[in-house]
Amino acid sequence: MTDIASHRGGALLWPENSRLSFENTAKLAVEQVEFDVHPTRDGKLVVIHDSTLDRTTDGKGPVAAQDWAALSTLVLKGTGGQRMLLLDEVIEIFRPTPIVLRLEIKCGPDRVPYPGHAARVARALEQAKVLDRSVLTSFQLGTVCEAVAAARPMKHVWLVLPDVQTDIGLANVIASTKGAGVPMLGLRQNMLTAEIVATVRAAGLGIGGWACNDAAAIAKLLALEVDVFTTDRPDLAIAQRRARA
Ligand code: FE
């Protein structure tokens, strides 16, 4: 069966990465919840997608330039007053559920990794005793490796941007992944074919898809029988998976 991951807590259904989105996702028949983690200036871990505050909050500028005391006063757009959550708060929303935590370890503005961030995220999961139900992902292969060197999750995944897949080619993507000891790839849904899924699996790697946000993309990934995909429409994905069963 293909697992479904509610992307940013179901970003087309509820305000992304909000308590509202996570509490609603916790009630769904999904296997995973995806969310994004940045550091604050004072070393806390917060759940927000962008490296800057402008798009999804009433604040401005880089997330990592502010302390939690200031960030916690900002309102997430569309939530009716909710603030952003700490990583620990998201963990507690899902602790009573069987849903796997699928964390994306983010980088700072201009795609510069935050020093020590990946290791800190991994150690936070270890401290919260949820490593064995966590999947660590990043678009930066070095970030995935840094996290896993600090604490080993149930699974770790390199998310590959289409440009990277095109520029270095699938064979090099696979070689880099295996060379780094990473067991799984996540490719953008439009970059996946039956042949590519077969090639990745033949190399001994798991295969997932991302950005499956409409009925056509969801149908495609269900037909390809990938291991997992992320979707902003978990409701649609659940319905389409049920209809195929
Ligand atoms: Fe993400």
Tell me the pLDDT tens digit for each residue of 94-146: 999 999 999 999 999 999 999 999 999 999 999 999 999 999 999 999 999 99
For residue 26, what pLDDT is reported? 98
Q: Which residues contact 122 (CB under 8 A, 6 or more apart)?
A: 131, 136, 147, 148, 150, 151, 153
For residue 230, the CA-to-ligand 1 centroid distance in Å is 9
Report helix, strand or coil for 27.
Answer: coil
Query: Facing residues of 207 across strands?
Result: 185
Give me the mean pLDDT over the 206-222 stretch. 98
User: Tens digit of pLDDT for each residue in 20-49?
Assistant: 999 999 999 999 999 999 999 999 999 999
For residue 90, the CA-to-ligand 1 centroid distance in Å is 14
For residue 73, the CA-to-ligand 1 centroid distance in Å is 23
Contact predicate 5/31, CB 8 Å: yes
Report helix, strand or coil for 38.
Answer: strand
Q: Is the pLDDT of residue 245 over 90?
A: no
For residue 44, the CA-to-ligand 1 centroid distance in Å is 19
For residue 141, the CA-to-ligand 1 centroid distance in Å is 15
Q: Is the pLDDT of residue 11 over 90?
A: yes
Please tell me the distance from the alpha carbon of residue 91 to that of residue 58, in angstroms, as a whole number.
Answer: 24
For residue 36, the CA-to-ligand 1 centroid distance in Å is 5
Query: Facing residues of 206 across strands?
Result: 184
For residue 45, the CA-to-ligand 1 centroid distance in Å is 15
Topology (CATH) of 3-244: TIM Barrel (3.20.20)
For residue 202, the CA-to-ligand 1 centroid distance in Å is 27
For residue 68, what pLDDT is reported? 98
Strands 100-105 and 32-39: parallel
User: How far, in whole angstroms, is CA 90 from its chain's centroid?
Assistant: 13
Output the six-digit token pair for 214: 């409409």
Q: Which residues contact 38 (CB under 8 A, 6 or more apart)?
A: 45, 46, 48, 51, 63, 64, 106, 108, 114, 117
Q: Is the pLDDT of residue 53 over 90?
A: yes
Give the residue extent of every domain in the chain: 3-244
**Burial label, 43 (beta-carbon count in 10 A; 0-12, 13-18, 19+):** exposed
Q: Is the pLDDT of residue 2 over 90?
A: yes
User: Tens digit of pLDDT for each residue in 166-206?
Assistant: 999 999 999 999 999 999 999 999 999 999 999 999 999 99
